[in-house]
Amino acid sequence: MCTFPRAFALLFACTIPAAAWAHAFPDNSSPHVGATLEAAPSQVKIWFDGEIEPVFSTLVVKNPAGKVVSNGRGEVDATNQALLETSLPKGLPPGEYTVFWSVIAHDGHHTAGHFTFTVK
């Protein structure tokens, strides 16, 4: 049995850029993860470390009772496809809010998660 094809395949796999296997993970958010805010924000934004697919990416915010309070399912920014954002209604009452996100990277990989922030 010849090992040349296996060796060639291994060498080829090692030369493929890491970005080819990349997933999109959050890089930053506003409000920040776990933040305690004096006033309710008007938007929630999450910046990712790679571009995401607008059609398959969602961002929703739920109140302490589990009801969705964000407007819509979130949108990818037209000028920065690594930014997912949603708006919030004015005057959110005090409480802990949970941000749920789900994205598909341009390479097709799915990632999802959630975090909280609190309004005093």
The C-alpha atoms of residue 111 and residue 50 are separated, in whole angstroms, by 12
DSSP 3-state assignment of 7? helix
Over residues 18-34, the mean pLDDT reads 83
65 within domain boundaries: yes
Q: Which domain holds residue 43?
A: 22-119
Interval 17-43 mean pLDDT: 86
Domain count, the chain: 1
DSSP characters over 53-115: -TTT-EEEEE-TTS-B-SEEEEEE-SS-TTEEEEE--TTPPSEEEEEEEEEEBTTS-EEEEEE
Tell me if 33 is assigned to some domain: yes
pLDDT at 10: 39
Whether 54 is in a domain gets the answer: yes
Residue at 12: amino acid letter: F
Query: Count of CB atoms within 10 A of residue 22's CB?
Result: 15
Is residue 10 situated within a structural domain? no
Q: What is the CATH number of the domain that holds 54?
A: 2.60.40.1220
In this structure, is residue 7 part of a structural domain?
Answer: no
- Asked if residue 5 belongs to a domain, the reply is no
**How far is the C-alpha of 47 from the C-alpha of 61, rounded, in Å?**
16
Mean pLDDT of 34-47: 98
**Alpha-carbon distance 54 to 38, whole Å?**
32
Q: Is the pLDDT of residue 13 over 70?
A: no
Q: Is the pLDDT of residue 23 over 90?
A: no
Paired residues of 110 in beta bridges: 104
Q: For residue 60, is it within any domain?
A: yes
